[in-house]
Structure 1
Amino acid sequence: MRRNGPIALLFHTLVVSFVLAPLVLVCLVAFTAQDTLSLPFAGASLRWFKAVFDHPDFLQSFYNSLQLALLSATLSVCIALPAGLALGRYRFPGRDALNGLFLSPLIIPSLVLGVAFMRMFSVMGISGSFFWLVIAHTVVITPYVLRMVLAAVMGIDRSSEQAAQSLGAGPWTVFRRITLPAILPGLSGGWMLAFINSFDELTMSIFVTTPATVTLPVRMYMYATESIDPMMASVSALMILITGGAMLILDRLYGLDRILIGERV
């Protein structure tokens, strides 16, 4: 195996440091006891973490984001599972076009999607509905689940399914006892990745949320336009913790390298 030379190692170290430095600084500032965002600080304190839990708007926005991410990620799995099985196993007219349609939210800017959803909801008279907010998030995060399902489906050895069918097992039995367990890691990883993206979504959500359905990222953006204090760093640190924990679970379930590299369909 070819090893990286000192220049490559130095380059990788600089890139990783550049990416992690802002996150580390935010987490450090979250523990300040001062009233301003500043480093270094005199002493560590949990003052601003306590302030987050004493702020009802942030708590409600957190619950909104959590509920939204759970529902939209689950709905995305329900859509991506049959779509992934069809696209990964069968060749039919319009397959490539259908695959492109499902994956198109990945190449459309979130700003454009947000404006389009806002206009559509306004014309339909459904602005402010939490249900349609879930639908909007589902559209954005379904491609992530679909890619994971496609990778899992393409990696299945179908000899076990064929053997079960030859022994008299029906389609539902084969799916439930062979196919589903085989693709479950990819399905679980896709759900987790969709959950993370929905929970952290800001750009599109700004256009489709209302005062009753404000998500945590939108609440943070609104608060930052009015006041910059260490409480924002505390909220950011909590979000980093939640996202990092979810990514760790995702890595244990499926492997981040397979998500980032993917497999050809």
Structure 2
Amino acid sequence: MSSSARPTKKAKKSATGQPAAAGPSAIDDLTALTTAQLYSLSAKRHRDYSREIVRMAQEERDRAHVALQEMQSRLERANEHLEKMEENSRDAHREYLDAKNLLIRVRQSSNSTVPPMNIALDDSSVEDILGIISKKPSGNTAASSGKSPGGKKSQKFPYIEDILVSMAKSGQLHKGTKLSLAECHLVNKKDNSQFVNTMKLVEELWTEEEELFLRSSREEIEESMEEAKIIAETISLRCLTKLNEFEGREDPTPTNHQKPSFVSVGNRARRVFIGRKKGDENLV
């Protein structure tokens, strides 16, 4: 066959003048390149996502650390507050024991000694004398019946502890009623001003624990009547002691002739309140 009949390399081009289609090896190379690019893109996305997760975890850790510091600070403040409350409770308990011991000494002293006749009389002493005089019969009829000429049995003014126990038993204090606004069947209407002044003084002097106890329910008061009486007597004695301090006495300890009747204490408390308004600390 002649050389003119053989196809040349140039004759391998298509009729359009373009090179022939790529072979299988070129397709494999293109597939491998595309796969590598896809893997690279996927790895980049995964890396970015991992970095975002790490960043969010760090922020969460920082927030948790800040919250932990705040909780520790709150815990420290709570511990300080608890220590103060415990200290106040110990102080109140010591004051309660001191008042209770003082009450015992006053009772023992009043039972074992007789007050001298040259002691200056205050309102409570005058009340006792008036009570004795009012009980004295004016005639045979009064002597036989044990009543005053008016036909009514005379009574001394009730003490502060009697009024407090009575109001606690009635349930008024459990409802949150202020002492000065409460009602008591032991108090006459004509003595209401002394009652109000006495109750205002009690509200100044009773402790938080004493108030909470006396504001218990009627059932709880009935079950703890002895404790209620002791607390009421302690408050009553504290009123006398504080009034002596307000009046500038060297020894504020209540004397034997000082009685915690609400009328006597109310009159003395009124003078204290008036003195406060005028700016006078020492009462004459």
- Normalized against structure 1, the TM-score is what? 0.24
Q: Which has the higher contact order (CA 8 A, sep 6+)?
A: 1
